[in-house]
Copies of this chain bind each other. A is one copy, B any other.
Amino acid sequence: MIRDDALALDAADPLGPLRDQFELPPGVLYLDGNSLGVLPKTTAARVQQVVTQEWGTDLIRSWNSAGWMDLPKRVGDKIAHLVGAGPGELVVADSTSVNLFKVLSAALTAVARDAPQRRVILSERSNFPTDLYIAESLAHQHGCELLLAEADELPDLLNAHTAVLMLTHVNYRTGRMHDMAALTAAAHAAGALALWDLAHSAGAVPVDLKGANADYAVGCGYKYLNGGPGAPAFVWVHPRHVERFWQPLAGWIGHAAPFEFTPGYRPAAGIARYLCGTPAVLSLAALECGVDTVLAAEPLSGGRSAMAALRDKSLALTHLFAARVQATCPQLTLVSPVDDAQRGSQVCFAHPEIGYPVVQALIARGVIGDFRAPDILRFGFTPLYLRYVDAWDAAESLRDVLASGEWQRPEFKRRLAVT
């Protein structure tokens, strides 16, 4: 393969026009959409409309007239379409961490009633830390144990003591993707519930929550959904569970009749009981623009779902990049799965020593990936706005940074990293 082959793939790509939806800064090759998605072209005007017209001019009346109160459900329905959930089953609210607290609390409450001998939350040792912290907190509160294992050990650890299998579908560090249907079935076979964090899945890979028969899910708005920094997150509960339990963050927006202002809590019907405080309107409006950029793939997908078409391109991009880097950068060890079925929308390499300065040197060249301690060089591929030639060029830049030794410059030395 040569660079012209990549250009030819772009020229023939039916999803190519989707790139025009975004404000891509010149000179930047952005491989960090798995941390913060790029800005859609519609967002600035939409946020400005919310600020100046809906808030500034219409003021309090916009809760009704502009549909602010419906935003958590309206944007939730759009996300539901991307993750195999039904309309009215998913809402946008709070952060991923807070939503995980809600659903894991509900799951543990359910198990405590139905099967009190089940006291183990099973998760992956390399799960994203906030998931583990929240689980640790709730395990303590509920008198449970948080059991951490390697991915391959999980099926064998499901047993009569397992309350909840809590996993992030695509690992934030390696990009390895679990088989949601198989692990959910294994959890159910063992009598446990299955809870999925879709932070690196929603908008990145096909997800079929109902098809996999999952029990609970949460996910992030600011990665592949392009919702902006700190965008609100989402929460889904399978309809078979949703009205069986309260979640503990029993705020007024999850009440059956918030504006009756009555002192006793009565949870709303359905997923609305997973709402808590007043909706974050500015952030919700921005998130809707981001979700719309993913839905826009549908008409270009040749009769398939948006996510199916995006997945094909994503796999082609990550395959191209991984193969080129493996061919040209023998110092780096591929840690993302080679098997398409196990690879999310990112490619990660490990190096025991120089990961941080290499990533910094790449960023200085305008190729933005990120470093994840202790040794991971992480590159996210968002098929909505990345081209085949970008994957090619990024691999060339990585080879050049290593071959030239420019990563050794003093300005790339490690300091406190906060992204």
Contacts and interface: CB of A to CB of B under 8 A. Distances in A.
Interface of A: 23, 25, 28, 30, 32, 35-36, 38-39, 43-44, 47-48, 50-52, 54-64, 68-69, 94-98, 101, 125, 127-130, 132-134, 136-138, 141, 148, 173, 222, 228-233, 246, 248-253, 255, 258-265, 276-284, 286, 363, 368, 370, 372-373, 416-419
Given A47-B51, A129-B263, A63 B418 contact: yes
B255 A129 contact: yes
Nearest to A281: B229
A220 to B, nearest CB: 8
A291 to B, nearest CB: 16
Nearest to A172: B261
Contact of A69 (B44, B58, B231, B418): B418
A329 B18 CA distance: 61
Given A25-B59, A32-B59, A95-B94, A68 B229 contact: yes
Given A23-B52, A130-B251, A233-B277, A261 B125 contact: no
Given A25-B57, A97-B251, A43 B39 contact: no
Contacts of A23: 52, 56-57
A372 B91 CA distance: 27
Given A39-B52, A233-B277, A281-B230, A372 B261 contact: yes
